[in-house]
Chains A and B, each alone.
Chain A
Amino acid sequence: DTAVSQTPKYLVTQMGNDKSIKCEQNLGHDTMYWYKQDSKKFLKIMFSYNNKELIINETVPNRFSPKSPDKAHLNLHINSLELGDSAVYFCASSQILAGGTGELFFGEGSRLTVL
């Protein structure tokens, strides 16, 4: 069973279009994240949700809108796509432990290419 799954794995689209990526985790974790990995492999946090509540928003443009219908799902919608949005987007989940952050479990990534 896949612990963190995201779809689609690949998106190729034109500038100006809107696209969505979906993520689901079956680990029972209470916290989910979106990370962006650019062409230089930098992994940068974008958003974090804890029990459906937005807790981290890393000065991401308003064109990016996350939505968490329940604690097992975290989707990412991107409006008016730009060339610089091309990247691999990773969903992740973790259980926040009494001592602090727990292990992050990543999805397989969604490679977005904007033409």
Chain B
Amino acid sequence: GENVEQHPSTLSVQEGDSAVIKCTYSDSASNYFPWYKQELGKRPQLIIDIRSNVGEKKDQRIAVTLNKTAKHFSLHITETQPEDSAVYFCAATFIQGAQKLVFGQGTRLTINP
């Protein structure tokens, strides 16, 4: 079935340290893997995405890696700052007639000053 597992559910790191969030997906045909950040009371917003023909993508302090063989992908945030505190969601596309994005359960990241 369509499943995206995300770990950990909560993560607390010291400011300046790195944070890593991991996701696995069930459908080997999935080809698009975005990451969304949701601040308290706000809407989810895309922070980075990767397609299946790429193994790694970086944007300043944020990077995403994809291992298609193992069907897992990860979000890496370096030099964390207080404004990185939020809930992060991974997602993967599933195709059953139409494409849809299925989200992981979310990771609440807290950056401690």
Contacts and interface: CB of A to CB of B under 8 A. Distances in A.
What secondary structure prevails in chain B residues at the interface with A?
Answer: strand
B105 A104 contact: no
A41 B88 CA distance: 10
Interface string A33-48: 0000000111111001
Contact of A48 (B32, B42, B100): B100
B98 interface: yes
The interface centre, meaning the residue of A41, A50, A90, A108 with most chain B CB atoms within 10 A of its CB, is: A41
Interface residues of B, number: 25
Contacts of B1: none
A99 interface: yes
B87 interface: yes
Contacts, number: 56
A44 B4 CA distance: 11
Given A90-B43, A99-B31, A101-B32, A42 B100 contact: no
Nearest to B34: A103
B101 A106 contact: no
Nearest to B49: A103
Interface string B84-113: 000101000100011111110110100000
B105 A100 contact: no
A55 B98 contact: yes
B46 A56 contact: no
A109 interface: yes
B103 A44 contact: yes
Contacts of A41: 38, 87, 105-106, 108
B43 A99 contact: no
